[in-house]
Amino acid sequence: MKVLLALDSSTASETVINEVASRPWHLGTVFCVMTVVDTGRWEGLPALIEDAKRGAQTLVATAAGKLIQSGQEAFSEIQLGLPKIAIPQCAKQWGADLIVIGSYGTSALTRFLLGRALRKRFSALHHVQSRSCARVHGLSRLLPVA
């Protein structure tokens, strides 16, 4: 099984990685721990983009390290662009079976709207098959992407 774990720097994402690392997974499960540096926020400010890339590298390396310490196979990935586009593109290119997304630690309304937008975006990935859908402590979603 291929699991794409999309994180940001929120405490919710920290909870998600700890939860994923503590769960039993099928033998052969591989994790891609990714984050997206939203370049739209820093357009025209290359020094800030470089700082964001360094922070992103630390984030995904730490998260992948937690998975590896728990006995899982994991690697990290950093994408530039918009998360709503980069996450499903990465899932499609890699052939992810499951996408786990850490919430942005915002209000319930914002989480609801974000979830709705991501569900619409992921519905285009017809080749990815997963029927699992659960909430982890109300902070993240295991999204079906088919």
Please write the tens of the pLDDT for every residue from 6-38: 998 888 888 889 999 999 999 999 999 999 988
DSSP-assigned states of every residue in 81-108: S-HHHHHHHHHHHHT-SEEEEE--S--H
pTM for this one? 0.70
What is the residue whose two structure tokens read 């370049």? Answer: 39
Residue 3 is predicted with a pLDDT of 94
Residue 60 is predicted with a pLDDT of 94
> CB burial class (10 A; 0-12, 13-18, 19+) of residue 3?
buried
Domains defined for the chain, CATH in brackets: 2-143 (3.40.50.620)
Residue 104 is predicted with a pLDDT of 53
Residue 140 is predicted with a pLDDT of 41
Sheet holding 2-6, edge to edge: 73-80, 30-37, 2-6, 98-102, 140-143, 134-136
| Three-class DSSP category at 39 | coil
Q: Report the distance separating Cα 1 and Cα 96, nearest Å.
A: 8
Residue 78 is predicted with a pLDDT of 94
What is the residue whose two structure tokens read 């709503």? Answer: 84
Low-confidence ranges of the chain (pLDDT < 70): 103-146
Residue 126 is predicted with a pLDDT of 32
